[in-house]
Structure 1
Amino acid sequence: MTNINALDPGASPLDYYGYELRRHREAAGLTLKQLGGILNYTGSLVGQIETARKVPTPEFSERVDAALGTDGLFSRLVELVLRSRLPAWFQQVAELEMRATEICSFQTHMVLGLLQTQGYAQAVLGALDRSDLEDRTAVRLARQRVFEKGEPPVFWAVLSEAALHLEIGGPEVMREQLAHLLSFESNPRLNIQVLPFSAGAHPGLQGSFDVYRFSTDPTIVYTEGYGSGHPTANPDTVRECSLRYDHLRAAALSLTDSAELIRRVMEDRYGDAVA
């Protein structure tokens, strides 16, 4: 644990963030409690972030920038902090997401991280390990800021119908998650298709995978195991998985029919409706 009187800004991005936060706060002549009052957070939380015991959020960072007049410094730093808090084997994936011009994802049994709500993400991440759950959830959700870029990637997601029925986090969490998927209906850059149970045998039976395409770099295929990720630019693998994905999209319901199925499952299974 970082000593409150001996912050080492070179220890990690989180320590550097805390060091800079304390330096700017003290330069402004504010106590922890005073800055917390301005930010609408507790002084205790500010202190935990300053001592690298708590991970800051993008919202916290934006408020700090506004309160201390730091010209977006903390909003920029928080991106590095959150990326550094990802598991080491997953950090490359976060970089791929940020650089890609097109992302194509196939998921066999659950909603992928880039589309998860807070409640759903907490339930997934806390299924076996609930330590630092709030921070780990914030780190996962921060990846979704890729869709807020000036030129966000074109995103295609093919979800197995099983993802709509596997009750993760309980009915209320699932209602919120499915409503979140429906919120993208009018976004032409974010497209969600459902592969129905009626499709039977399909080219994705071997498991989930993602395809990342870039403006100049080679396409990368990513698959995942327990505690490990496997990105590859092998041309044969890329061609095979790209073909698999084309066939999965063809076998899936249309965008409109997919939304109707999501809405129907939400109403019938989780007792809520979205107009």
Structure 2
Amino acid sequence: MANIHTLDPSASPLDYYGWELRRQREAACLKQGQLGEIIFCTGSLIGQIETTKKLPTRDFSERVDAALGTGGMFSRLIGLVLRSQLPAWFQPYADMEAKATYISTYQAQVVYGLLQTEEYARALLATGLPDDLENQVAARIERQRILERERPPFAWAVLDEAALRRPVGGNDVMRRQLLHLLEFADHRWMRIQVLPFAAGEHASLAGSFTTMRFDEDPDIVYTEDVISGHMTASPDTVREAALRYAHLQATALSVEESAALITRVMEECYGDRPRPEERAVA
């Protein structure tokens, strides 16, 4: 078993979190069980997090900050901790995604990661048979917090109709996922278009890709294969991706028509239409 006294706080964000949690708890003269009582969890959970055996959550971090008066330190640190749980090959993309001011993506098979519900993400990530599924789910949901910033990136997603009709996780999960997409219909910073099957051949039959734009850094194009991701700032590649994306946007349904198609797919494939009260503005 890991021993908190031997943890190197510089080894990883998770190690630092555990090391700092114990340091702050002991500075407050609290035993693990006492802190657990204050934040409504077990002392065992405190111990597991202090020894990196358990991944902390954002809710846990906020409660610890309130209990120990740490000025939001753990709430800030949890983002780094959760991002460190992403696959090593994906972390550079997540770092750039968090800095982007404009994101445009075409997704040929599945719903874009920043738009996924927790249930949908869990079902999708489970197909890779990971040993740390819940950690990966938490990390993916944490990525979505960039859309909640005071000034989030402007994002544009073109989803192939296949992403709507592929029943990832089953009908109930898909119904809630499509309903979640509809919540972005009037979103200020996110636009969703659907590329319908009726469009036939189109500018990106080769697969999905994402372009990110920054205030100071060069634009980046990101693609994935079965086991890894690839980023490039090659001007020729960026120019080609921009041209293809413009064609995709022109071929796809309008934002309003896309919402109507999502609603229709909910009815045809998953047995229900969204009720008016469910169409909340994101």
TM-score, with structure 2 as normaliser: 0.93
- Is this contact kept in 2: 1:83–1:139, CA < 8 A? yes
Distance of 1:140 and 1:36 partners within structure 2 = 27
Q: Unmatched 5+ residue regions in structure 2?
A: 277-282
8 Å CA contact retained: 2:4, 2:18: no
* 1:246 lines up with 2:246 in the alignment: yes
Deviates more, 1:3-12 or 1:260-269: 3-12
CA contact (8 A) 1:160 1:196 kept: yes
Q: For residue 93 of structure 2, what is the amino acid of its counterpart?
A: V
Deviation at 1:6, TM superposition (A): 2.9
Do the aligned partners of 1:54 and 1:135 also contact (CA within 8 Å) in 2? no
> Which of 54-63 and 38-47 deviates more?
38-47
1:121 matched to 2:109? no
Q: How does 1:62-77 map to 2 (within 5 A)?
A: 62-77=62-77
Q: What pairs with 1:37-116 in structure 2 (closer than 5 Å)?
A: 37-116=37-116
2:264 and 2:42 map into 1 onto residues whose CA distance is 42
The residue correspondences of 1:172-187 to structure 2 (distance < 5 A) are 172-187=172-187
Code of the residue aligned with 1:34 in structure 2: it is: Q
Bigger shift: residues 122-131 or 66-75: 122-131
- Alignment partners' CA distance in 2, 1:128 and 1:210: 21
**Partner Cα separation in structure 2 for residue 264 and residue 122 of structure 1:** 25
1:233 maps onto 2:233 in alignment: yes
**Contact in 2 for aligned 1:192/1:258 (Cα 8 Å):** yes
Following TM superposition, by how much is the alpha carbon of 1:127 offset from its aligned partner in structure 2, in angstroms? 1.2
For 2:64, the aligned partner's letter is V
Cα deviation for residue 250 of structure 1 reads 0.7
How far the C-alpha of 1:80 sits from its partner, in A, is 1.5
CA distance in 1, matches of 2:41, 2:196: 45
Amino acid at match of 2:21: L
Describe the superposition over 1:88-145 as per-residue Cα deviations: whole angstroms up to 9, x where unpaired: 1111111111111100010001002111111111111111314221111101111001
CA distance in 2, matches of 1:79, 1:128: 23
1:190 is the counterpart of 2:190: yes
What is the deviation of 1:175? 1.0
Moved over 6 A (4+): none
Residue equivalent to 2:169: 169
Contact in 1 for aligned 2:106/2:208 (Cα 8 Å): yes
CA contact (8 A) 1:115 1:144 kept: yes
Structure 1 residue runs of 5 or longer lacking an equivalent are none
SS in 1 for 2:76: helix
**Partner amino acid, structure 1, of 2:257:** D
Aligned-partner residue type, residue 215 of structure 1: D
Matched, 1:23 2:23: yes
Alignment: residue pair count: 275
Tell me how far apart the structure 1 counterparts of residues 96 and 43 of structure 2 sit (CA, whole Å). 36
1:164-218 residue CA offsets vs partner (Å, 9 max, x unmatched): 1101011111111111111111212111110000000000101000000111211
Greater CA drift, 105-114 or 55-64 = 55-64
- Percent pairwise identity: 60
